[in-house]
Amino acid sequence: MRVAIIQFPGSNCDWDAWHAINDVIGLPAERVWHKSALPAETEAVIVPGGFSFGDYLRCGAIARFSPIMEDLKSFSEKGGPVFGICNGFQILCEAGLLPGALVRNNCIEFRCLNQCLVPEDSTENFNKVNLGEKIYLPIAHGEGNYRLDAGDLSELEANGQVLLRYAGDPADGPGHGNPNGSVNDIAGVRNATGNVFGMMPHPERVVEPFHPGLDGIGVLRAFLAPLLEETPVAMESA
Partner 1 sequence: MGQGRSLGLPVKVTVFVSPKSTVLDPQGAAVEHAMKSLGHASARGVRVGKTITFEIDGEDGPDTRKKLDELCDGLLSNPIIEDFRYEID
> Residue 149 interacts with partner 1 (CB under 8 A)?
yes
> Residue 196 interacts with partner 1 (CB under 8 A)?
no
SS3 assignment for the chain = CCEEEEECCCECCHHHHHHHHHHHHCCCEEEEECCCCCCCCCCEEEECCECHHHHCCCCCCCHHHCCHHHHHHHHHHCCCCEEEECHHHHHHHHCCCCCCEEECCCCCCCEEEEEEEEECCCCCCCCHHHHCCCEEEEEEECCCEEECCHHHHHHHHHCCCEEEEECCCHHHCCCCCCCCCCHHHEEEEECCCCCEEEECCCHHHCCCCCCCCCHHHHHHHHHHHHHHCCHHHHHHHC
Contact 83, 197 (CB under 8 A): yes
Q: Could you say which of 34, 141, 176, 202 is catalytic? A: 202
Q: Could you say which of 13, 86, 143, 176 is catalytic? A: 86
204 is catalytic: yes
The CA distance from 7 to 125, in Å, is 27
User: Judged by CB under 8 A, which stretch of 28-36, 57-65, 67-75, 130-138 contacts partner 1?
Assistant: 57-65
> Residue 192 interacts with partner 1 (CB under 8 A)?
no
User: Judged by CB under 8 A, which stretch of 15-23, 122-130, 143-151, 157-165 contacts partner 1?
Assistant: 143-151
CB of 106 or CB of 134, closer to partner 1: 106
Q: How far apart are the first and last CA of the chain?
A: 18
> Residue 62 interacts with partner 1 (CB under 8 A)?
yes
CB of 98 or CB of 222, closer to partner 1: 98
Q: Measured from the CB of residue 26, what is the shortest distance to partner 1 in angstroms? A: 38
User: Judged by CB under 8 A, which stretch of 74-82, 142-150, 198-206, 212-220 contacts partner 1?
Assistant: 142-150
> Residue 57 interacts with partner 1 (CB under 8 A)?
yes
- Contact letters for partner 1, residues 84-123 (x by CB under 8 A): ---------xx-----xx-xxxxxx---------------
> Residue 9 interacts with partner 1 (CB under 8 A)?
no
Question: Which amino acids are annotated catalytic?
Answer: 86, 202, 204
Binding site for partner 1 (CB under 8 A): 57-58, 61-62, 65, 93-94, 100-101, 103-108, 145, 147-149, 181
